[in-house]
Amino acid sequence: MDTARSPLAPAGFPDLPPIAGVTPHVARARYKNWDRCDLTFVTLDPGTAVGGVFTQSKCPSPEVEWCRKALILGQARALVVNAGNSNAFTGNRGREAVEAIAARAAKHIGCEPSDIFVSSTGVIGVPLPIDKAETGLDAAFTAAPCGWEDAAATIMTTDTFPKAAMTTAMIGGQKVTLVGIIKGSGMIAPDMATMLGFIFTDAAATPDFLQHALGHANRSSFSCITVDSDTSTSDTVLAFATGKAGNAVLEDSDSAGADAFRAALSDLCLRLAHLVVRDGEGASKFIRIDVEGAESDASARRIALSIANSPLVKTAIAGEDANWGRVVMAVGKAGEPADRDKLSIRFGATQVAKDGLAVEGYDEAPVAAHLKGHEIDIGVDLGLGDGKATVWTCDLTHGYISINADYRS
């Protein structure tokens, strides 16, 4: 498998501060036959609030079911992430593995199992070996704390670079910091959280506020990206707030600083989501698709996703081919209101089609130059109403086929 760093990766790992009340550890559970850390154990100080969004798959992993249930209580003391085995579709043995992990972690920390959040990522259908998980957990608990880069690297599977971002917000005169790590490269599609993302902040917030803010942020970030239209059984984004910053607790949208925190969280989620697209399996182009003039925002989003998920659009971009006819095709197949003769399409800054036909003699040079770059911008105006949406995706290349035609082997 090609493990070269994605050409769309940022230059390096960002400089991230610690978050008070959050202590990451990593260890080798050896879920696969590899010599790398694959178990992440993040301990959280008492009083940490948690919010989460999960896959909408009808066949979710037992980890997702566990977290959904634990979320009701709104409190977290630790996060355990297993890489190399998703534990999904493993029946009772999968449930037992999650319960065993939560029990072991709770015993180490001295808390209830329901305070432990568990995520796993990797191949579907193989029960997570409980002995390896327990051994790894014991090792992680006794290991020295690690930095964010180690934690971000340890949750990776087919990812080619560790992904993280940070931001800050002022809440009632008090600065709070948010750090997020994320993994995901294939089996990435919207309508749910992306594969595995974890956000840590020292802000003080109630679980209800955190849940609401994360749901809001999710709708314009993780729900607006797609790599391959395939939705994982394990998609999870969790946000943990330790309260150590000492701000007045964020309780609802009227709380001082609520808007600032929500804006910071949304910004962080969007940057994390973009990192996933930049590590899309086989990706060579980062593609932004803006749809405007639709009948509604929801309609615009469905049209944008139809374009973003079209194999023919994605392969055309991979081939640096300004084949805008495929964009027309993808608009047409979306099933949303559209009028062929009002439709306009832009590649980069160049209008290539307007009012239902090609712009006579448009300058192909800037379009060709734009398509040779790594950052591709496609604009569609339906000419019908005020609905608009933006989604992000990557191209479809030989790399995707190579990675996925022999992932298990």
The distance of closest approach from Cβ of residue 383 to a second copy in the complex, given in angstroms and rounded to an integer, is 12
* Residues 6+ positions from 359 with CB-CB distance below 8 Å: 351, 352, 353
Binding-site residue ranges for substrate: 157, 183, 194, 281, 404, 409
Which lies closer to a second copy via its Cβ, residue 246 or residue 356? 356
Q: Show contacts of 295-301: CB within 8 Å, 24+ apart.
A: 295/336, 295/337, 295/382, 295/384, 295/385, 295/387, 296/385, 296/387, 297/387, 297/388, 297/389, 298/387, 299/336, 299/337, 299/387, 300/382, 300/387, 300/388, 300/389, 301/224, 301/389, 301/391
The distance of closest approach from Cβ of residue 81 to a second copy in the complex, given in angstroms and rounded to an integer, is 19
Q: Is 106 helix (H, G, I), strand (E, B) or coil?
A: helix
The distance of closest approach from Cβ of residue 171 to a second copy in the complex, given in angstroms and rounded to an integer, is 38
The dihedral over CA atoms of 309, 223, 270, 283, expressed in degrees to the nearest 10, equals -20
| Structure tokens given for 162 | 């560790």
Which lies closer to a second copy via its Cβ, residue 56 or residue 253? 56
CA distance 145 to 167: 22
The distance of closest approach from Cβ of residue 299 to a second copy in the complex, given in angstroms and rounded to an integer, is 11
Which lies closer to a second copy via its Cβ, residue 107 or residue 333? 333
Gap between the terminal Cα atoms of the chain: 10
- 233: which strand partners? none
Q: Are 158 and 195 in contact (CB under 8 A)?
A: no
The distance of closest approach from Cβ of residue 189 to a second copy in the complex, given in angstroms and rounded to an integer, is 7
CA 321 from chain centre, in angstroms, equals 28
The distance of closest approach from Cβ of residue 187 to a second copy in the complex, given in angstroms and rounded to an integer, is 6
194 is catalytic: yes
Burial class (CB in 10 A: 0-12, 13-18, 19+), 59: exposed
Which lies closer to a second copy via its Cβ, residue 39 or residue 382? 382
Strands 39-54, 236-241: pairing is: antiparallel
| Structure tokens given for 101 | 């992990």
Residue 314's φ and ψ, nearest 5 degrees, are -65, -40
Question: How does DSSP assign 34-67, residue by residue?
Answer: -SS--EEEEEEEEEEEEEEEE---SS--HHHHHH
Catalytic residue among 55, 121, 194, 201: 194
Active-site annotation, residues: 194
